[in-house]
Amino acid sequence: MELQIIKTQHPKQKPAAGEPLGFGKYFTDHMFTMRYTAGQGWHDAKIEPYAPVAFDLATTVFHYAQGIFEGLKAFKNEQGEVRVFRPEENFKRMNRSADRMCIPRIDEQFVLNGLFELLKLEKDWIPTAPGTALYIRPSIIATKVALGVHASNEYLFFIILSPVGSYYAHGLAPTRLLVEDYYTRATVGGTGESKCIANYAVSLKAGEEAEKKGFDQVLWLDANEKKYVEEVGSMNMFFVIGGEVVTPALVGSILPGITRKSCIELLQANGYKVSERRVSIDEVIAAQKNGTLDEAFGTGTAAVISPVGMMEYKGQDYVVNGGEMGKITKWLYDTITGIQTGKLPDPHGWVVKL
C-alpha cells in the first residue's frame, strides 16, 4: 500500500515556549488516516492536514461504540533526536483490542512506518521542557452508515498528535484515590483488557462523583466480589508491601499496560522481587495499618508514574508513606523518563529513534 502525503498550506501557531500545555488541548498540523472496506481491506493511507471530518449521524461508532484507541509518546532530546517509547507494543495491543471488538487487524509495520513519517513532518511540535512530550493517539472507529447491532464493514484508522505537559494539573504531587465499592469498570469476559472506547464512558460516573468529593481518581475493585484491587482510571496499580512489589495479575478485566510491563521488567532487572497476583483491598488496608505499606503508585503512558498519597475506603482515610512519593516510585519515574528522553542509557532497547 502506498502512503500519500499532503502537506498543509496553513501551519498553525504552536504554543509558545514555557506555556503550560496541559493534556490533549493542542493538536498538530497533520494527521494519518486510512480506510477499511470489507472485500478491499485497508486502503487509502495518507498523511493530510489536520481538519474536522464529517460523519453521517447513523455511523455505527456513534450508536454502538465500536471503536478502540492507543496512547504512546514521542520525545525530542537536546540534539533534536526524536525518540518513541516501545511503539510496536502499542500496535500489537491495538490488534488484540481489534480482535475483541470485531475490528479488522492492521498491518503493524505499515502503521508504525506511517507514524514515523507523520512524526518527521511534525518534529517541530515535539516539546522539550522537562515533563513534556508529544502524545500520540492512534484510533480505529466503525464508519458504516446503518443502525442495527452488527460489526461494521467499514472503518477509519487515524493518528493524531498532541504536545502535552503533565497529565494531572498538580504534576507529580501524590494523588488522592477513592476506592470504589459500588460502580464497576470491567468484568472478566467483558472488555476490560481491551482499550475500547466504551470502557471510558462506563467509568465516567464514578470518576465525576469522586472528583466532586475532592479525589483525583477512582481505584477500581473487581466486579464480582468488590474485594480485589484492579486498576485506576487510566493507570495500572502497584503497591510496595513489606519490601515486595505487588501488582494485580492480568485476570482479564485489567488493561495490560505497557508502562506496567516496563516497570516489572526494570524492577526485576534491578533485583527487586515483583509479584503479579491478586491483591485484596483488605490486604492493602491491613498493611497500611501495621506499617508495612511502604508505597503505592499508578503507571500509564499519560502520567508515567503517579505516586498515591492517600486512599479512602468505606469512609476511612489511609495515608500512604506520609503522603510523600516513595523511593521505588521515584526511582521508576526517573528511570523510565530518563530512558525515554535519552538522559539514561536504554539497556532493554525500548526506544525507537527516528
Contact at 8 Å (CB) between 314 and 320? no
| Shorter beta-carbon distance to ligand PLP: residue 73 or 144 | 73
Among positions 87-126, residues that touch ligand PLP (CB under 6 A) are none
| Shorter beta-carbon distance to ligand PLP: residue 45 or 255 | 255
| Shorter beta-carbon distance to ligand PLP: residue 76 or 260 | 260
Residue type, 250: L
**Measured distance CA(154)–CA(156) in Å, rounded:** 7
Contact at 8 Å (CB) between 48 and 33? yes
Which spans in 158-279 are helix H?
198-212, 258-269
Nearest distance in Å: CB 221, ligand PLP: 14
Cα 42 to Cα 135, 234, 246: the distances in Å are 24, 29, 41
Among positions 243-282, residues that touch ligand PLP (CB under 6 A) are 255, 257-260
| Shorter beta-carbon distance to ligand PLP: residue 69 or 116 | 69
| Shorter beta-carbon distance to ligand PLP: residue 47 or 196 | 196
Nearest distance in Å: CB 25, ligand PLP: 19
Among positions 184-243, residues that touch ligand PLP (CB under 6 A) are 195, 231, 234-236
Contact mark string toward ligand PLP, 301..320, x via CB under 6 A: x-------------------
Residue 93, φ and ψ in degrees, nearest 5: -65, -35
- Which stretch, 109-117, 137-145, 296-304, 310-318, contacts ligand PLP (CB under 6 A)? 296-304
Nearest distance in Å: CB 11, ligand PLP: 30
Burial category of 126 from C-beta neighbours within 10 Å (exposed 0-12, middle 13-18, buried 19 and up): buried
**Measured distance CA(304)–CA(131) in Å, rounded:** 10
Residue type, 56: D
Q: Is 24 in the site for ligand PLP (CB under 6 A)?
A: no
* Cross-strand pairs, 276: 247
DSSP 48: E
- If residue 140 lies in a helix (H) or strand (E), which one and from where to where? strand 133-142
| Shorter beta-carbon distance to ligand PLP: residue 45 or 339 | 339
| Shorter beta-carbon distance to ligand PLP: residue 76 or 195 | 195
**Measured distance CA(29)–CA(118) in Å, rounded:** 10
- How many residues touch ligand PLP under the rule CB under 6 A: the total is 14
Positions that interact with ligand PLP (CB under 6 A): 71, 195, 231, 234-236, 255, 257-260, 299-301
